[in-house]
Amino acid sequence: MLTIQYISLVITTPETETVNFTVSSLKEVIAHGSVTPGTPMTIDESTLLAYNVSSELDRYKGILVTTGTEKKISVTVAMSHLGDYSTGVYVNYPISVYSVNACSYVYYAMSIGTDESTSFSTLLIVSSNNNTNITITPTVTVTIPPNLTQSGRQIVLNAGQSITIQLQYLETLLLKPVAALADLTGTKVESHKPLSVYSGHTCGFIPVGQFACDFVGEQIPPVVSWGNEFLVQSFYNRQSGYILKLIGSQNSTTVNILCDNGNSYSLSLQEGGVLSQTISQTSCYINSTSPILVAQFSLAQFADASFTSYGDPAMTIIPPLHQYATSGTSFPIITLLGAFVSVNLIVLAADESSKIQLNGTVLPSLTSSSWKHYNTSVGGSYVFNSYSLSAGSGEIRVWSNNSNDKILAMVYGLQQFVGYSYSGTLDMKPFEVCCLHCEAGYAIDTATCTCSLSNICLLSPCQNGGSCTLVSAPSNYTCDCATGYEGDTCADCKQGYSCLAPNISAPISYVATLSGSNVSLRCVLHEAGSSVATIQWSFNGSIITNSSLFLITEGSTKLNITNITTSLSGSYHCNAANIFGTSVVAISVNVQKPPYFITTPPNSVLVAYSKSITLKCSFGGVPLPNITWFKDGMVIPSDQYTSSSQSDTVTTILTVPVSFTSQRNYTCQAVNYLVERRVISTTVNVTIVNTPPVIEASDTFMITVGETALYTLHITDPGDTISVTIEFDGEFPYTLDQNGSIWTLNVTLSSLVEFNFTVIATDSFNATTAKTPQVIICGCPLERSNCTQKGISHVSNPLTLKCDCMEAYEGEYCEDDFDGCTEVSCFNNATCTDVPAPGTGVICPPCPSGYTGDGIICYIPQVILPYVVFNNSISKVTNISSTQKVNAPRPINLLGSVYSSVYISISGTFSMSGRFTYFYSRLFPSSIRGIRDSVVFAPMWNFYDIRREGSVSYQTFSSNNPLANDVFNDVNSFIKTSKNITSYKGIWMLVMEWREMHPYHFGYLYNGQNSVRDRQNTFQAILTTDGSDTHIIYTYKCGDIMWDNYYSRSVVGYNIAGGRYENHRGSGIPGELLKLGCYDDMNQPANYTNIVYSFQSDEKDPNVAICLERYRNDLELPEISSSFAIPCPCSAWQVRFDRSFRFTYYYYSDTQYAECYSNMFPQSYQSMCCYRYA
């Protein structure tokens, strides 16, 4: 079903006093309540939504509404989904109206097809009893879930196939088609106990393709409650009519539809057959020759001719006339999604004296203009009256002064894209069905539920082969007698006829023979009477004729069988017959087939001592042979071997536990006897072989000088005794211990000696097994070293390991103190002092002032500049929505060029060469000339959207403003410390902030990446100058960079026209820039990350200025391994390429390439540049 937002049970009662009720499931009581006559009670507990059946796997979601007494209530179910404007209302029939004595209950699904694959036709079954067997025959392919099948696997049930399942009390089963757009209508459900069956569509289009769809569904009544006469009214305020769907209960059912506008239709239905008929906006009368089911469907709002009328698809089961309420009815008014509710009252008046009351008010006379009158001729006259009224709320009660009147109320709810309808209470009396099964010739009298004679000929009253002709039902007949007989029932023999049947016998009634023999069977006919008998032979029910196997001779009394086989064993019949009767004699033939081998053991077997051997024989033969085993000609008792047989095979298995007395000949013999004794046998010679002892032990034996080593061996030879000896070369101090099959060799070396050894195990047959392990000797002092095989190219036995000295020692046996100063240099080549063994390492002087470290590695401490907090009390904070030009009061120097303005873009960039209008980010320098020739800085370049969220703002600071001193002090201090310069004092500063920046999207979709809309980026950039030197600072806080990849990949860096550019590490790689703010330049966890680019004017050689600037901006420098170093000095051209191609990318690849690194500088930047300036 649809995802339902609202579901309610509306309960009314026809009683005259308050009635208590309970709503429950198998696992809980959902609600208790009471209902007062005239006031509906609505149960809309949210718990009800949990019982919406939406999957074939849902079970036990049935709900029971009961009073627990004889008092009656009516339950109407209402549901809706506001987002889809989908509604549905139907009256729930009480199970008690269906007779518990009915033979079976048959239901047929009623639904529609559709052109929308996300909705589907449905059939829901709810069991009202335990152990309810249900047979389902679908009209389209469905699946039966695994928790309802005996195999525990899902079953695909094709159209026309049937399956029987079992449901328990309040257990549910939802069926829906496997194929999209399929229609379940006509699917048959049959059970021996009553069910609640619901059918419809989750969101049906009526007709197909017309907007919009709606839930259509009803509870389906069983066939026993269907009818033959129906009145169908047109829907209120509709223009284009409606659709009728009809299902038949019996073959050859004729259906006549006569409508008020004069149109008529004659249709033919078969059992379970389905027909559809479109009807214009008019009312119709329907009758049929056998019970049918009628459903009325309203059209979608846009399918209606007026295009302005309200309504949408709805489905209503039309009650037959015999179910109309007698003299009175009541029903609740249910309003869903603001629908306008109207009611049509149909009255079948007994006579003109009938008066109708509505909630106690007498309606106008049935003959007044307020009522519509219908006089439809269908083999006579049928008059009914219809009265329309608008309904408010609550419950409506209608009754008549005439108890013979029949009343039906149809309720319609209409609104834009909303349509539903349901009926008032019906007079659904229990339907009793006769389950009597009558014998042939008798038929069921449904009035009395008895069997009465229907056709006497079916009782075969004519004797002696006479045929019966029924003259008139049920018992008037004549007999057409066979030759030789006469009389009313052909019981008398005609004059001149003996009327005797033949008599036949067989001299021999049992024949046993060998396969391949020729056999003759005889029978003797003793003629009697006046009619000659004919003789036929048959075998296993089949008539025998002459062939290569069979030959019939001697007047058919002799049957010759050639080359008989076991397949011809059985019973042969000699049949004699004349017009007065038959006689038959049986001859039993058994064919013996001598024994034959199917499987045999080998002629000879070698088996190890103390093992066991299994010998197997299998034979065929008819009859199955008897098996006997012999040992050297002596019978082996049958309890020492096993035998089993199937239809044509007997198998025997002999298991021999082997000892030296088991070395014998074993014979398997098969014998069968039917005609003669036949014997077949085979002999196996079993020879015992001895196996030497088995040694299980490690292939290596590790010995450390000064310690005791254990070498453990597991030595076995079942059933035999074992002795163990040791053979060795060299000095080998050992002891040998035994515990059962475990032998332990104990070896202790007090000094380094070399040896090897072999363990030899010998059994009582002098069979031996030897084990020579690889001896590995560790003679190193363990307090100074570890033993290692590293560096040993040739492995010998024994193998003496080398010594792997601890850090403080060196030498062959680690006898010398290692001087750490041979591997470590102190910072700036300061004096190095070795730490004596067993200590390790070196001692270096402390780091110079301004550095930190251990004296070996000294470095300038990392400093962090957090976000600058905007403050309107210092200077104006400006928010921008597009590119903004900011004029600088002082020139901005960048590598010899002077700029007077900064252009701030919402794309996460700012430029000095003019407006930078590129939103889609790409790596610098770019093949696009406009990007390559720009002077642009990119703290986080991408395509941002600030139309609904996010902001870009800036604030300028001047050193002339005393309120800006704190900001300048923080920034100046950060630059001096991070760049290790002694003096810097900014005079003008521009702080830019991009806050909560989302990716730009088109429409309301993020190209399938909806999670992006919940992510945002915040970052700052600072430009500060002292009139000579310019510093650019990018600031990122941990967690503020949440995305770097959408339509394009974010880029961090800068580009200065003429070929100078920087792509910060991670630019252009999805996910890499998300680390910004969370790691410092040493890749250590941090709360902020600063990227600083410094551009200083230098009146010396410009190449020196370039070199200084390159080094100051080389944030990755400390992380580059010295193995990538390019020796100093090098050319200025090489300097340029060092920087330009460091951490850059090819356009067609996301792979980073580190090239041309040069980090052979001293720690102090003032003396780091040693290039030759060519």
Please name which of 439, 442, 437 lies closest in space to residue 475, comparing C-alpha atoms: 442
Residue 1010 has pLDDT above 50, yes or no: yes
| pLDDT, position 867 | 96
Phi, psi of 978, deg, nearest 5: -70, -30
The per-residue pLDDT for range 699-758, each reduced to its tens digit, is 999 998 888 999 999 999 877 788 999 988 877 788 899 999 999 999 888 888 888 899
Q: Record the tokens describing residue 439, joined without a space.
A: 């014998």
Q: What is the DSSP string of 1125-1144?
A: BPPSP--HHHHHHHHHTTTB
Degrees to nearest 5, angle at CA 863 with 857 and 866: 160
Cα–Cα distances in Å, from 345 out to 323, 622, 714?
15, 85, 100
Q: Which of 250-259, 768-777, 1116-1125 has the lowest mean pLDDT?
A: 1116-1125
Per this entry, what is the length of the chain?
1174
| pLDDT, position 48 | 83
Query: Can you tell me the distance from the alpha carbon of 75 to that of 91, in angstroms, rounded to the nearest whole number?
Result: 6
Q: Which residue has the higher pLDDT, 69 or 1010?
A: 69
Mention every residue, 6+ apart, whose C-beta is less than 8 A from residue 1020: 867, 868, 939, 991, 992, 993, 994, 1034, 1035
Query: Can you tell me the distance from the alpha carbon of 999 to that of 1152, in angstroms, rounded to the nearest whole number?
Result: 25
The pairing of strands 29-35 and 19-24 is antiparallel
Please name which of 296, 288, 286 lies closest in space to residue 271, comparing C-alpha atoms: 288
Please report which confidence band the pLDDT of residue 1155 belongs to, taking 50, 70 and 90 as the band edges.
very low
- Name the DSSP class of 312: -
| pLDDT, position 749 | 85
Please report which confidence band the pLDDT of residue 449 belongs to, taking 50, 70 and 90 as the band edges.
confident
Q: Which residue has the higher pLDDT, 689 or 632?
A: 632
Give me the residue label for tokens 């049920």.
474
Phi, psi of 975, deg, nearest 5: -65, -45
Please report which confidence band the pLDDT of residue 656 belongs to, taking 50, 70 and 90 as the band edges.
confident
Query: Can you tell me the distance from the alpha carbon of 330 to that of 391, in angstroms, rounded to the nearest whole number?
Result: 13
CA dihedral 476, 477, 478, 480 (to 10 degrees): 180
Q: Record the tokens describing residue 612, joined without a space.
A: 């066991």
Residue 1140 has pLDDT above 80, yes or no: no
Q: Which residues, in sequence order, are bridge partners of residue 39?
A: 36
Q: Which residue has the higher pLDDT, 1147 or 973?
A: 973
Q: Which range among 32-41, 108-117, 347-356, 489-498 has the greatest average pLDDT?
A: 32-41
Residue 1043 has pLDDT above 60, yes or no: yes
Average pLDDT of the segment spanning 130-153? 88
Phi, psi of 11, deg, nearest 5: -115, 130
Query: Can you tell me the distance from the alpha carbon of 885 to that of 914, in angstroms, rounded to the nearest whole number?
Result: 9
Q: Which residue has the higher pLDDT, 766 or 680?
A: 680
Query: Can you tell me the distance from the alpha carbon of 915 to that of 814, in angstroms, rounded to the nearest whole number?
Result: 71
Residue 675 has pLDDT above 60, yes or no: yes
Please report which confidence band the pLDDT of residue 82 belongs to, taking 50, 70 and 90 as the band edges.
low
Counting beta carbons within 10 angstroms of the beta carbon of residue 817, is it exposed (0 to 12), middle (13 to 18) or buried (19 or more)? middle
Average pLDDT of the segment spanning 235-258? 87
Average pLDDT of the segment spanning 551-576? 92
Query: Can you tell me the distance from the alpha carbon of 897 to that of 911, in angstroms, rounded to the nearest whole number?
Result: 14
Collapsing DSSP to helix, strand or coil, 35 comes out as strand
Query: Can you tell me the distance from the alpha carbon of 365 to that of 354, in angstroms, rounded to the nearest whole number?
Result: 8
CA dihedral 1046, 1049, 934, 1148 (to 10 degrees): -130
Percentage of the residues of the chain whose pLDDT score is greater than 90? 33
Q: Which contacts qualify for 97-100: CB closer than 8 Å, 24 or more apart?
A: 97/225, 97/428, 97/429, 97/430, 97/431, 98/194, 98/222, 98/224, 98/225, 98/430, 98/431, 99/224, 99/430, 99/431, 99/432, 99/433, 100/193, 100/194
Cα–Cα distances in Å, from 200 out to 90, 211, 299, 895, 1149?
11, 18, 15, 79, 56
Please name which of 358, 302, 398, 353 lies closest in space to residue 14, comparing C-alpha atoms: 398
Average pLDDT, the chain: 82
Q: Which residue has the higher pLDDT, 781 or 519?
A: 519
Residue 336 has pLDDT above 70, yes or no: yes
Residue 769 has pLDDT above 50, yes or no: yes
869: left (phi over 0), alpha (psi -120 to 50) or beta: beta
Q: Which range among 7-21, 112-126, 143-157 has the greatest average pLDDT?
A: 7-21
Please name which of 1049, 1069, 1092 lies closest in space to residue 1143, comparing C-alpha atoms: 1069
Query: Can you tell me the distance from the alpha carbon of 89 to that of 350, in angstroms, rounded to the nearest whole number?
Result: 31
Query: 234-267 b/e with 16+ CB inside 10 Å = b?
Result: bbbbbbbbbbbbbbbbbeebebebbbbeeeeeeb
| pLDDT, position 338 | 67
Please report which confidence band the pLDDT of residue 395 belongs to, taking 50, 70 and 90 as the band edges.
confident
Query: Can you tell me the distance from the alpha carbon of 757 to that of 771, in angstroms, rounded to the nearest whole number?
Result: 9
Please name which of 779, 760, 772, 769 lies closest in space to residue 797, comparing C-alpha atoms: 772
The pairing of strands 1051-1056 and 1060-1063 is antiparallel
Yes or no: say if 986 and 959 are a contact pair by the CB < 8 Å rule. yes
- Count H helices and E strands in the chain, helices first: 4, 89
Cα–Cα distances in Å, from 826 out to 248, 603, 845, 848?
103, 87, 8, 12
The H-or-E segment that residue 510 falls in is: strand 510-514
| pLDDT, position 446 | 64
Average pLDDT of the segment spanning 899-928? 92
Q: Which residue has the higher pLDDT, 576 or 450?
A: 576
Residue ranges in 804-944 assigned as alpha helix (H): 929-932
| pLDDT, position 590 | 93
Average pLDDT of the segment spanning 468-482? 91
Residue 470 has pLDDT above 60, yes or no: yes
Q: Which of 354-358, 532-536, 982-986 has the lowest mean pLDDT?
A: 354-358
Residue 1172 has pLDDT above 50, yes or no: no
Name the amino acid, one letter, at 18: T
The per-residue pLDDT for range 797-849, each reduced to its tens digit, is 888 888 989 888 888 888 888 888 888 888 888 889 988 988 888 899 998 87
Yes or no: say if 479 and 489 are a contact pair by the CB < 8 Å rule. yes
The H-or-E segment that residue 1105 falls in is: helix 1102-1112
| pLDDT, position 743 | 92
Indicate the pTM of the whole model.
Answer: 0.44
Please report which confidence band the pLDDT of residue 853 belongs to, taking 50, 70 and 90 as the band edges.
confident
Collapsing DSSP to helix, strand or coil, 829 comes out as helix
Q: Which of 307-321, 462-476, 700-714, 1105-1119 has the lowest mean pLDDT?
A: 1105-1119
| pLDDT, position 262 | 84
Cis peptide before 207 (omega within 30 of 0): yes
Query: Can you tell me the distance from the alpha carbon of 365 to that of 344, in angstroms, rounded to the nearest whole number?
Result: 16
- C-beta neighbour count of 1013 within 10 angstroms: 16
Q: Which residue has the higher pLDDT, 352 or 748?
A: 748
Q: Which of 56-70, 370-384, 612-626, 1128-1142 has the lowest mean pLDDT?
A: 1128-1142
| pLDDT, position 117 | 55
Query: 140-179 b/e with 16+ CB inside 10 Å = b?
Result: bebebbeebeeeeeebebeeeeeeebebeebbbbbbbbee
Q: What is the DSSP string of 866-881?
A: -PPPP-TTTS-EEEES
| pLDDT, position 828 | 81
Please report which confidence band the pLDDT of residue 1138 belongs to, taking 50, 70 and 90 as the band edges.
very low
| pLDDT, position 532 | 75
Please report which confidence band the pLDDT of residue 102 belongs to, taking 50, 70 and 90 as the band edges.
low
Average pLDDT of the segment spanning 632-661? 85
Yes or no: say if 200 and 215 are a contact pair by the CB < 8 Å rule. yes
All structural domains of the chain, each given as residue ranges with its CATH number in brackets, are 6-423 (no CATH), 503-591 (2.60.40.10), 600-689 (2.60.40.10), 877-1097 (no CATH), 1101-1174 (no CATH)
Q: Which range among 417-426, 1091-1100, 1122-1131 has the greatest average pLDDT?
A: 417-426
The pairing of strands 936-941 and 524-526 is unpaired
Q: Which of 1-15, 933-947, 1080-1094, 1146-1160 has the lowest mean pLDDT?
A: 1146-1160
Give me the residue label for tokens 């399942």.
165
Residue 1144 has pLDDT above 50, yes or no: no
Mention every residue, 6+ apart, whose C-beta is less than 8 A from residue 63: 23, 24, 25, 30, 48, 51, 170
Residue ranges in 792-868 assigned as alpha helix (H): none
- C-beta neighbour count of 523 within 10 angstroms: 27
Average pLDDT of the segment spanning 971-987? 87
| pLDDT, position 379 | 38
| pLDDT, position 1084 | 67
Residue 563 has pLDDT above 90, yes or no: yes
Collapsing DSSP to helix, strand or coil, 1146 comes out as coil
Q: What is the DSSP string of 748-804?
A: E-SS---EEEEEEEEETT--EEEE-PEEEEE-S-TTTEEEE-TT--S--SSEEPEEE
Percentage of the residues of the chain whose pLDDT score is greater than 70? 85
Please name which of 1033, 1017, 1077, 1020 lies closest in space to residue 869, comparing C-alpha atoms: 1020
The per-residue pLDDT for range 262-284, each reduced to its tens digit, is 889 999 999 999 999 999 888 88
| pLDDT, position 1011 | 65
Residue ranges in 942-1069 assigned as alpha helix (H): 965-979
| pLDDT, position 1173 | 29
Yes or no: say if 1034 and 980 are a contact pair by the CB < 8 Å rule. no
